[in-house]
Amino acid sequence: MQPLAVACECKKTAKLKNEWKYSGINVEQSKLTFSSFEVWNKASQRMKDTAGAYCADFQEIKGNRRNSILLCGQVGSGKSHCSIAVALNFLKQHIKVVYMPYRDVITKLKQNMIDEEFYTRTISKYQLCEVLLIDDLFKGKINDTDVNIMFEIINYRYLNFLPIIVSSEFSIDKLLAFDEGVGSRIYEMA
């Protein structure tokens, strides 16, 4: 029996744009794909290849302990580009990703800590989503409150085997030295 209705391309595109909007990835960032990533040295090639392999293996590893990816490097090395490319790849597969620009979210959470409803609703969004993309983890000046908020998010995801995509200027050694609780969980997951 033939289907009575078939979704047109415009419906599929609209659905994808709604998923992008929910994810927090804006239209400008949607241009940050694997095909638009320019490789300029061996390290950038390795980052692109690693991110691509992560996408290819995701369905097999998503329920495992090691279901996440950490992209580390200097400013301008392509960490955000590759991590957003992974997220866009997932969104096209209808895997729900939530984008967390670290500095912006931490600032809003700290400004609203006394508003328990806002704090709980916001932190839950990052704890419970299918895949969380944390962009520029620990960028800028960091205090104990920043670390505690991130521990709350990452520990929940760690305990519940929920994947994360992390970009950071911190190497894994620096993450571990900076905060062992957050660093060790990311290390074990990635």
Model confidence at 83: pLDDT above 90: yes
Structure tokens at 115: 């508003």
**Which pLDDT value is given to residue 32?**
82
Q: Which residue has the tokens 């300029």?
A: 40
Q: Is residue 104 within 8 Å of residue 139, measured between CB atoms?
A: no
* 76 or 187, higher pLDDT: 187
Q: Is residue 120 within 8 Å of residue 156, measured between CB atoms?
A: no
Distance of CA 60 to the CA centre of its chain: 18
**Which pLDDT value is given to residue 122?**
94
Q: Show Cβ contacts of residue 182 under 8 Å, excluding neighbours closer than 6 positions.
A: 147, 150, 151, 154, 175
Write b or e for each residue in 92-123: b if 16 or more Cβ atoms lie within 10 A of its Cβ, otherwise e: eeebebbbbebbebbeebeeeeeeeeebeebb
Residues 103-146 pLDDT 10s:
999 999 999 889 999 999 999 999 999 999 999 999 989 899 99
**Which pLDDT value is given to residue 77?**
82
Estimate the crossing angle of helix 116-128 against helix 102-111, to 10 degrees: 150
Q: How many residues does the chain have?
A: 190
Question: What is the band of 157 on the pLDDT scale with cuts at 50, 70, 90?
Answer: very high
Residues 91-107 pLDDT 10s:
888 899 999 999 999 99
Residues 9-56 pLDDT 10s:
555 555 555 555 556 666 455 788 878 888 888 988 998 999 999 999
Segment among 2-16, 58-72, 104-118, 170-184 with least mean pLDDT:
2-16
3-state secondary structure of 121: helix
CB neighbourhood size of 9 (10 A): 7
User: Measured at the alpha carbon of residue 176, what is the angle toward residues 181 and 66, in degrees to the nearest 5?
Assistant: 70
